[in-house]
């Protein structure tokens, strides 16, 4: 090798060393204050703590913005499996060897410019292992290639040489074998955002809308700062509530129509929303606006989990009343003061397929508990549509929320199949004989399920004597079997949900007075059509025959009856 070539090589490598020294980033481990063997959970916590401290919206001190950017850059490297691996090996997340200070993971880089006494392990950093390239010396180089190989390697390997020998199309800037591959430069799928599903209109329709599951959604624009921090919060909440909710991100730049559909208007920073359900079954999109801390976001998500399960007092619960509808019923008995998270999750996933109840119990020796056949808590008891009771499981133990939802879900699906089999095997004569039992007496425990806001129209037969009760029960049980329809403006017909019940006027005088004080004092039996959502009612006091009652109900559904506003919201004792 000539002196001119050696001089060129020395200048070239010296230039690389200087460039790398200037470009070398701050050690991400030192930035986050974690050890090199730190777990992802530890890295996440350190990132959250420092981000809160130096967030530009809260910290107005000089240098806080630069520190915040440094923290985000460090987390981007260490939260990505491939970038972290590259940094540990080379001192650069892209996979390019860090010439003066690489080998953070126990390896040291360096170059040998040939011959005894050459620059062996220059800048190795004291690692236990070393690698070197020998650029010449007497005879062959120790690495097995000469000057031509050096230039071809710098040119990217595949580029043709230019007249100066430093590479043509491949170019010196490619760094060839030293450069990271496209795989190393792309974000690893095992990075912090891996668990967050990308949401578009199709995914929203097929997996989110009206599927009963609660979702934590992140809306953002690619140009917004802080998206990565929001994603780390979402991921941490997802991990702690795995099985109770799912998480997703919506790019409002590429999915502008979906964001518009949901009423999400992009702002200066990313936004967090919880997609869930109200107690009446309506969907809701609630925005989280408090301090961006995982613990608080988690609490917000828990608050918005479905509440379709009815909290009841077992002592006053009418067990015989649960067989009044075709939908099977299930009850959770636990020591919890509030409805357990797992039961709220299940009530959302299986809403409409079961009627959910839950109650607080501390003593299995209680007569009401023993009557149900429960000997250990927590326990689940179910009732088939024919009234048959079945203890589904007692002494329930769960490993975690996700597995519990799956295991109990399978239990409920098995019970549902059994109910379908029972319903299909029932005889017409049996259904007719049981129809009288389907008209329930309104009470405090069943009012929401019969006349709650989820029921458009509630037909109530109020009576003052036993004869009046029998008359109304006989008529309403037959009318309830009829397929009554409501006319639409277009002339089409649609089924309307109507519930039927009885009310003991003497005991529920407060309920009647909340409608109208003067009208119900003397009537032995009267029909009330009540619309819970609108807070309106209409009455019928004529001839209580099957034909007249059926006409009244049909007129109510067709809008031919004038309704009156209630004096106050009706309640039963």
Q: Given a cut of 90, is residue 336 above it in pLDDT?
A: yes
Q: Given a cut of 50, is residue 361 above it in pLDDT?
A: yes
Give the C-alpha separation, 39 to 67, whole Å.
23
User: What count of Cα atoms within 13 Å lies in the side-chain half-sphere of residue 249?
Assistant: 24
Please list, in sequence order, all residues whose beta carbon lies within 8 angstroms of the beta carbon of residue 335, skipping any fewer than 6 positions away.
360, 361, 362, 377, 378
Cβ 237 vs Cβ 247: under 8 Å: yes
Cβ 271 vs Cβ 264: under 8 Å: yes
Give the domain 197-303 fold.
Glutaredoxin (3.40.30)
Phi, psi of 384 (to 5 degrees): -75, 170
How much of the chain is in helix, strand and coil states, percent to nearest 5?
A: 40, 15, 45
CATH for 437-565 is 3.40.30.10
Lowest mean pLDDT among 11-25, 148-162, 461-475: 148-162
pLDDT recorded at residue 233: 93
pLDDT recorded at residue 173: 33
* H or E, element range at 223: none
* Eight-class DSSP state of 526: E
3-state secondary structure labels for all residues of 53-120:
HHCCCCCCCCCHHHHHHHHHHHHHHHCCHHHHHHHHHHCCCCCCCCCCCCCCCCEECCCECCCCCCCC
Candidate ranges 49-53, 237-241, 319-323, 418-422; pick with highest mean pLDDT: 237-241
Please list, in sequence order, all residues whose beta carbon lies within 8 angstroms of the beta carbon of residue 264, skipping any fewer than 6 positions away.
219, 250, 252, 271, 273, 285
The pLDDT of 473-477, averaged and rounded, is 87
Return the axis-axis angle of helices 227-240 and 294-303, rounded to nearest 10°.
60
Tell me whether residue 141 is exposed, middle or buried, using C-beta atoms within 10 angstroms of its C-beta: 0 to 12, 13 to 18, 19 or more.
buried
pLDDT tens digit sequence for 500-509: 999 888 888 8
Candidate ranges 118-127, 205-214, 538-547; pick with highest mean pLDDT: 205-214
What confidence tier does 308 reach under pLDDT thresholds 50, 70, 90?
very high
Cis peptide before 509 (omega within 30 of 0): no
Q: Give the residue with greater pLDDT, 482 vs 248.
A: 248
Q: Given a cut of 60, is residue 89 above it in pLDDT?
A: yes
pLDDT recorded at residue 323: 52
Q: Given a cut of 50, is residue 433 above it in pLDDT?
A: no
For the four alpha carbons of 440, 442, 443 and 446, in that order, the dihedral sign comes to positive
Lowest mean pLDDT among 168-182, 208-222, 297-311, 509-523: 168-182
Q: Given a cut of 90, is residue 339 above it in pLDDT?
A: yes
pLDDT tens digit sequence for 165-218: 333 333 333 333 333 333 333 333 344 444 799 999 999 999 999 899 999 999
* Eight-class DSSP state of 501: E
Maximum Cα–Cα distance across the chain = 122
* H or E, element range at 192: none
| Number of helical H runs and strand E runs in the chain | 19, 20
pLDDT recorded at residue 9: 52
What confidence tier does 465 reach under pLDDT thresholds 50, 70, 90?
confident
Q: Given a cut of 50, is residue 113 above it in pLDDT?
A: no
Cβ 187 vs Cβ 80: under 8 Å: yes
pLDDT tens digit sequence for 6-48: 555 544 545 444 444 444 458 899 999 999 888 888 888 888 8
User: 14: helix, coil or strand?
Assistant: helix
Give the C-alpha separation, 346 to 565, whole Å.
36
Other beta carbons less than 10 A from residue 186's beta carbon: 12
Does domain 325-340+350-426 match CATH 3.30.70? no
State the span(s) of the chain assigned CATH 1.10.287.110: 3-183
pLDDT recorded at residue 68: 86
Cβ 184 vs Cβ 95: under 8 Å: yes
State the span(s) of the chain assigned CATH 3.40.30.10: 197-303, 437-565
Q: Give the residue with greater pLDDT, 277 vs 467.
A: 277
Q: Give the residue with greater pLDDT, 443 vs 326.
A: 443
pLDDT recorded at residue 150: 28
Does domain 3-183 match CATH 1.10.287.110? yes
Share of the chain above pLDDT 90, in %: 35
pLDDT recorded at residue 522: 67
Q: Give the residue with greater pLDDT, 121 vs 301.
A: 301
Share of the chain above pLDDT 70, in %: 71
pLDDT tens digit sequence for 365-390: 998 898 899 999 999 999 998 888 99
The pLDDT of 341-362, averaged and rounded, is 94
Mean pLDDT score of the chain:
76
Place of tokens 């209630």: 566
pLDDT recorded at residue 327: 86
pLDDT recorded at residue 513: 84
pLDDT recorded at residue 13: 47
- Where helices occur in 441-545 by DSSP H, the ranges are 447-451, 466-479, 509-513
Q: Can you list the positions of beta strands (E) in 431-497?
A: 440-441, 457-463, 485-487, 493-495
For the four alpha carbons of 487, 490, 491 and 494, in that order, the dihedral sign comes to negative
pLDDT recorded at residue 301: 97
């Amino acid at each position: 090798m000539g002196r001119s070539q050696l001089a060129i090589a020395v200048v070239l490598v010296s230039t690389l060393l200087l460039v790398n020294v200037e470009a070398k980033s701050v050690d991400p481990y030192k930035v986050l204050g974690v050890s090199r063997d730190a777990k992802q959970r530890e890295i996440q916590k350190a990132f959250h703590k420092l981000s809160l401290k130096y967030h530009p919206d809260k910290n107005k001190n000089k240098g806080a913005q630069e520190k915040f950017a440094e923290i985000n850059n460090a987390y981007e490297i260490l939260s990505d499996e491939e970038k972290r691996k590259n940094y540990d090996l080379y001192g650069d997340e892209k996979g390019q060897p860090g010439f003066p200070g690489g080998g953070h993971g126990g390896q040291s880089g360096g170059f040998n410019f040939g011959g005894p006494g050459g620059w062996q392990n220059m800048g190795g950093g004291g690692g236990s292992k070393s690698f070197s390239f020998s650029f010449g010396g007497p005879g062959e180089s120790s690495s097995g290639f000469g000057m031509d190989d050096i230039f071809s390697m710098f040119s990217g390997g595949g580029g043709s040489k230019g007249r100066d020998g430093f590479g043509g199309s491949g170019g010196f800037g490619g760094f060839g074998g030293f450069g990271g591959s496209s795989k190393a430069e792309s974000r690893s799928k095992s990075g912090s955002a891996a668990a967050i599903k990308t949401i578009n209109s199709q995914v929203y329709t097929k997996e989110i809308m009206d599927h009963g599951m609660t979702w934590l959604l992140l809306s953002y624009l690619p140009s917004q700062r802080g998206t990565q921090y929001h994603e780390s919060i979402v991921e941490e909440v997802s991990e702690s509530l795995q099985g109770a909710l799912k998480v997703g991100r919506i790019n409002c730049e590429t999915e502008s129509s979906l964001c518009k559909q949901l009423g999400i208007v992009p702002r200066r920073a990313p936004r967090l929303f919880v997609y869930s359900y109200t107690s009446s079954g309506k969907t809701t999109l609630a925005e989280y606006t408090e301090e961006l801390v995982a613990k608080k976001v988690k609490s917000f998500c828990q608050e918005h989990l479905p509440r379709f399960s009815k909290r009841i007092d077992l002592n006053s619960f009418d067990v015989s009343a649960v067989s009044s509808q075709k939908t099977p019923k299930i009850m959770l008995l636990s020591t919890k003061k509030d409805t357990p998270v797992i039961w709220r999750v299940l009530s959302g996933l299986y809403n409409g397929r079961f009627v959910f109840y839950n109650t607080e119990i501390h003593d299995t020796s209680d007569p009401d508990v023993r009557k149900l056949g429960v000997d250990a808590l927590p326990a689940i008891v179910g009732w088939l549509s024919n009234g048959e009771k079945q203890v589904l499981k007692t002494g329930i133990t769960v490993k975690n929320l996700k597995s519990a939802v799956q295991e109990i879900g399978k239990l409920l699906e098995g019970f549902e199949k059994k109910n379908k089999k029972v319903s299909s095997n029932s005889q017409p004569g049996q259904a007719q004989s049981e129809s009288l039992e389907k008209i329930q007496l309104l009470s405090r425990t069943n009012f929401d399920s019969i006349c709650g806001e989820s029921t458009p129209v509630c037909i109530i037969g109020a009576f003052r004597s036993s004869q009046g009760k029998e008359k109304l029960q006989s008529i309403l049980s037959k009318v309830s079997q009829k397929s009554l329809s409501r006319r639409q403006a277009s002339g089409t017909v649609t089924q309307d949900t109507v519930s039927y019940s009885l009310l003991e006027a003497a005991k529920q005088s407060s309920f009647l007075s909340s409608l109208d004080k003067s009208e119900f004092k003397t009537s032995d039996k009267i029909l009330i059509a009540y619309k819970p959502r609108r807070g309106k009612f209409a009455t019928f006091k004529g001839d209580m025959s099957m034909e007249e009652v059926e006409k009244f109900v049909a007129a109510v559904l067709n809008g031919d009856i004038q309704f009156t506003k209630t004096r106050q919201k009706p309640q039963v004792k």
